[in-house]
Amino acid sequence: MTPEVGTLACTAVGGLVVSVEAEAYRIASEDVKSLIFAGRPAPVTCSRVRHVHGVSMGEITIEGHAAVHPAGRAVVIHTRIGSWIIPLVSFRRVARGEVASAPLFPLVPEVGI
C-alpha cells in the first residue's frame, strides 16, 4: 500500500500542519525555524484523545520527523504511516505564510530487483 498525497499548511501561530490519510500532524514553529535555518531534523507530533475509565485524556506523541534531504532541495517527512517529500522552496513559502498550503508527494520505498 502506497501513501496518499498529503498537504502541508501553515497555522496562525507559525507552526505547520501535515495532513495525510485522515491524520493531522504538527510541526512546532520553533522546530520549523530550526529545520529551515540550521538544517536540524524536526519532530512531527500528533494530538490524540484517549478515554480511560470514562475520563478523556489528551496526549501529544512524536509520530515521526521532518528533515532536509541530503541534496538540500527538499524536505522529507517521515511518519509511522509513510513518507512524503516537498520541495524546500514550497516548504519555506508555507512556513513564511506566503501561501496557505502546498502538496506533499508520497515517497515510495525502493524495491530490490
pTM, rounded to two decimals: 0.84
Q: Where are the domains of the chain?
A: 6-106
Cα–Cα distance between 107 and 94 in angstroms, integer?
20
Cα–Cα distance between 58 and 48 in angstroms, integer?
6
- Each residue's pLDDT tens digit, 54-83: 777 778 899 999 999 999 999 999 998 899
- Each residue's pLDDT tens digit, 97-106: 999 999 999 9
Q: Who wins on pLDDT, 54 or 9?
A: 9
DSSP string, 20-66: ETTEEEEE-HHHHHHHHHH---EEEEEEEEEEETTEEEEEEEEEEEE
